[in-house]
Structure 1
Amino acid sequence: MPLYVYSITAATHPCRLDGLTGVGAEPAPVRAITAGPLRAVVSDIDEEIRPKRRDLAAHQEVQDRLMADGTVLPLQFGYTAPDDEAVTQVLRERAEGYLAALDKVQGCAEYQVKASQDEDALLLEVLQGSDRARQLNDRIRAGDADPRLPLELGEIVATDVRERQEDLAAGLIEALLSLAEDHRVRAPADGDILNISLLVHGDDKAAFLRAEAGLAERSEDVRFRFTGPLPPYSFV
């Protein structure tokens, strides 16, 4: 029977799954498949699983339950397998890599840091810092219909945004990355100018949160959004 796969853990993980039901219109109990030193946490499914709100919540509930009791390799939403035998085979074939990954994230959680800046404030700073940008903006506002003007202004703004992203990343390296075991930088989306995930050990959690707070306090026109602790999705 097809399976939905949530996570991989060590075989020594307690996997307290009593009462948990999985994804799907008719959720099946969540259970574990053990193969040597590893376990896969799964539930039976009889349909294609789509990212509906209820299923996303069920997926995350399993991760939270497991993470509360030990180290876990959380899989992104949507992983499936044909049957128990296929899962067992993968656990055996990839045991070395999974064990190394478990060792890497042991005692750690993921924290996400995103940053954005008001577009009007950003444009004002660009105009204040670039004579050429200010000239282009003045011509556009005066009614100059030359289609090259907004293109050139857009390029100047985009370059400035990239530079700001690099500056923010440099600041994070100093303020946060020294407290992280690892990090992943992603392309910003939805108007953000920074998107980074950090792997932080529990022993460094308090210091990391203090550094986060200090970073936000020092930023006048940049709005930071901090999320965590989360299962270490980005580091599996």
Structure 2
Amino acid sequence: MPVYVYAVTLGDHPCRLDGLTGVGAGAAPLRAVSAGNLKAVVSDVSEEVSPRRRDLVAHQAAQDRLLPDGTPLPLQFGYTAPDDDAVRQVLNEQADLYLGALERVRGCVEYNVKAAWDEEDVLRRILEESPSARHLNEQIRAGTDDPRPALELGQYVADQVQQRHADAAAGIIETLVPLAREHAVHAPTGEDFLNLSLLVLRGADGEGALQLAHADLVADGETGVDIRVAGPLPPYSFAA
């Protein structure tokens, strides 16, 4: 029977999966398939799995259950195999790859850092700190048929916003990256100007230090900058 694959762990991981049901309409129970020094967490599926909310939640629940007992190698949503034997074959053939990847994340968890800057606050600062921007803004407010002031101000503000976002992101990265074993910078979305993933050691030296650094950034940083830290998370960004 086809199986859906959630994660790969070391062979000594307890894989306490009692009570967890998997993706798909059948919601089959989760179980571990062993091969040498590795395990794969799977469940039976009888249909093609699509990213419905219930299935995404079931996929994440498996990662969350595994994480406290040892960092798993989480697979992205959607991996399937023909049967248990096919899973064992892949684990055996790619054992060095999986063991190396698990060693990379051993004892660590992922934290995601996102940052956004209130748009009104940024615009206010630009106008306060730039005489030329204020002059252009006054021309526009006074009323003019000349389109150049609006175009010049728009371009100047766009350049300034981009530069200030870049400077703020660089400051956050400079502060937090030294606290991580590895890091990955992703393209930000929405109103965010930073999307940073950190692979952090569990405990005070890693997670504790990150929490303190985040608190210091919030206390000492620019007013209007919202820095959010999410975690601990399975190390999706470092499970290649």
Provide the TM-score with structure 1 as the length reference: 0.88
Q: Which residue of 1 aligns with 2:207?
A: 205
Deviation at 1:46, TM superposition (A): 1.8
Alignment of 1:55-74 (within 5 A): 55-74=55-74
Alignment of 1:208-227 (within 5 A): 208-219=210-221, 220-227=223-230
> How far apart in 1 are the matches of 2:89 and 2:145?
64
Going from structure 1 to structure 2, the CA distance change for 1:131 and 1:17 (only over 3 Å counts) comes to same
Provide the TM-score with structure 2 as the length reference: 0.87
Q: Which residue of 1 aligns with 2:22?
A: 22
Percent of aligned positions that are identical: 58
Alignment of 1:44-83 (within 5 A): 44-83=44-83
Matching residue's letter, 2:123:
L
Alignment of 1:149-228 (within 5 A): 153-203=153-203, 204-219=206-221, 220-228=223-231
> How far apart in 1 are the matches of 2:50 and 2:164?
37
SS of structure 2 residue aligned to 1:43:
strand
Could you give the per-residue CA deviations for residues 41-95 of structure 1, whole angstroms, max 9, x where no partner exists? 1111122323323222211211111111112111222222333233223222322
SS of structure 1 residue aligned to 2:231:
strand
Q: Which residue of 1 aligns with 2:236?
A: 233
> How far apart in 1 are the matches of 2:42 and 2:193?
37
Range with bigger deviation, 30-39 or 129-138: 129-138
Verify the 8 A CA contact 1:73 1:101 in the aligned structure 2: yes
> How far apart in 1 are the matches of 2:16 and 2:4?
18
Verify the 8 A CA contact 2:74 2:236 in the aligned structure 1: yes
CA RMSD of aligned residues (A): 2.3
Structure 1 unaligned runs (5+)? none
> How far apart in 1 are the matches of 2:137 and 2:78?
47
SS of structure 2 residue aligned to 1:228:
strand
Deviation at 1:144, TM superposition (A): 5.3
> How far apart in 2 are the matches of 1:39 and 1:132?
64
Q: How many residues align?
A: 236
Q: Which residue of 2 aligns with 1:111?
A: 111
> How far apart in 2 are the matches of 1:233 and 1:152?
43
Deviation at 1:231, TM superposition (A): 0.9
Verify the 8 A CA contact 2:71 2:109 in the aligned structure 1: no
Range with bigger deviation, 121-130 or 103-112: 121-130
